[in-house]
């Protein structure tokens, strides 16, 4: 269990993206796939970019058969509300990248029909595997769903269709999706997404970003032997109680995009809330 931690209040990640995306959305995109954009002398050469349009979180970095794979949140529409896909790029040196197109796309009528949100890439039994959050709602929008008290996130798994393909160009959804359909019973979460995975012995562990209104951010810990059957264990970490949290801004109570790892033997939990990190003690999960 990682010690509690509190962050300075400020603009949330989603509010920041919404503001910047609104500005970008005003830019005309005519000819966005033309050679003129690809050859623009102002286009960064040492920073990965999509061929066009919108990108966000890097997802699931993976080294496989001599190639570095980097997936990223992508939308063909420059808008915070646009449908999210996983873009996919590959490199042999982490400098020169080749975009391979879309790795994950929303499944019509499926549990990720409204978007393939952030997640992780791991290798399980010799098969590259993606674990990510699928978005689905029946209302007009994600926010309308949340106002009803519903959670639009599901946890999903996709596997490489051909592990012998060094470029991992095709991914297949497993039949049992979603592998997690809802957060633990009794929690009134403002969000439940962005799984990060690691392995200890023969057991996989997964932390999912979450939070409760008025209480603050939380990191939920799960375990599995096969990446299909998951058991909720407990909270890996929670924010310190903060009475100043504005309940009218629920995202202020949310930890997004967690990552857990050891650095020089010390446990580190990163969360997207004020760009903070947590340190503490960790034993027996």
CB 171 within 8 A of CB 158: yes
Which residues, including other chains, have CB under 8 Å from residue 118's CB and lie 6 or more apart? 57, 59, 73, 132, 133, 193, 194, 256, 257
Residue 180: exposure state from Cβ atoms within 10 A (0-12, 13-18, ≥19): buried
Residue 46: exposure state from Cβ atoms within 10 A (0-12, 13-18, ≥19): exposed
Of the residues 6, 40, 57, 112, only one is catalytic, namely 57
Going by C-alpha positions, the residue among 123, 133, 1, 15 that lies closest to residue 63 is 123
Which residues, including other chains, have CB under 8 Å from residue 167's CB and lie 6 or more apart? 67, 90, 100
% helix / strand / coil in the chain, to the nearest 5? 10, 45, 45
Give kind and range of the element (H or E) at residue 144. Answer: helix 142-147
Query: Side by side, which strands form the sheet with 115-124?
Result: 115-124, 127-135, 153-160, 171-173
Examine the residue annotation and report whether 259 is marked as an active-site residue of this protein.
no
| Residues designated catalytic | 57
């Amino acid at each position: 269990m990682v010690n509690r931690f509190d962050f300075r209040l400020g603009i949330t990640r989603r509010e920041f993206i919404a503001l910047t995306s609104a500005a970008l959305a005003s830019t005309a995109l005519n000819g966005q796939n033309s050679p003129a954009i690809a050859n623009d002398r102002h286009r960064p050469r040492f920073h990965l970019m999509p061929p066009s349009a919108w990108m966000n979180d890097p997802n699931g970095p993976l080294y496989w058969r001599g190639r570095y794979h980097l997936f990223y949140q992508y939308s063909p529409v420059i808008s915070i509300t646009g449908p999210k896909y996983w873009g996919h790029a590959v490199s042999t040196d982490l400098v020169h990248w080749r975009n391979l197109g879309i790795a994950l796309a929303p499944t019509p009528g499926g549990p990720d029909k409204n978007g393939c949100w952030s997640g992780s890439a791991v290798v399980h039994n010799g098969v590259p595997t993606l674990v990510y959050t699928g978005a689905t709602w029946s209302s007009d929008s994600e926010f309308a769903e949340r106002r009803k008290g519903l959670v639009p996130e599901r946890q999903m798994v996709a596997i490489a269709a051909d592990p012998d393909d060094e470029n991992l160009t095709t991914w297949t959804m497993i039949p049992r999706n979603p592998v997690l359909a809802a957060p633990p019973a009794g929690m009134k979460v403002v969000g439940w997404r962005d799984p990060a995975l690691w392995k200890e012995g023969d057991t996989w562990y997964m932390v999912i970003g979450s939070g409760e209104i008025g209480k603050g951010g939380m990191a939920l810990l799960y375990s599995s032997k096969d990446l299909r059957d998951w058991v909720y264990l407990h909270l890996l970490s929670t924010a310190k109680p903060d009475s100043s949290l504005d309940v009218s801004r629920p995202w202020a109570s949310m930890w997004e995009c967690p990552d857990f790892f050891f650095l020089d033997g010390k446990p580190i939990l990163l969360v997207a809330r004020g760009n903070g990190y947590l340190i503490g003690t960790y034993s027996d999960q």
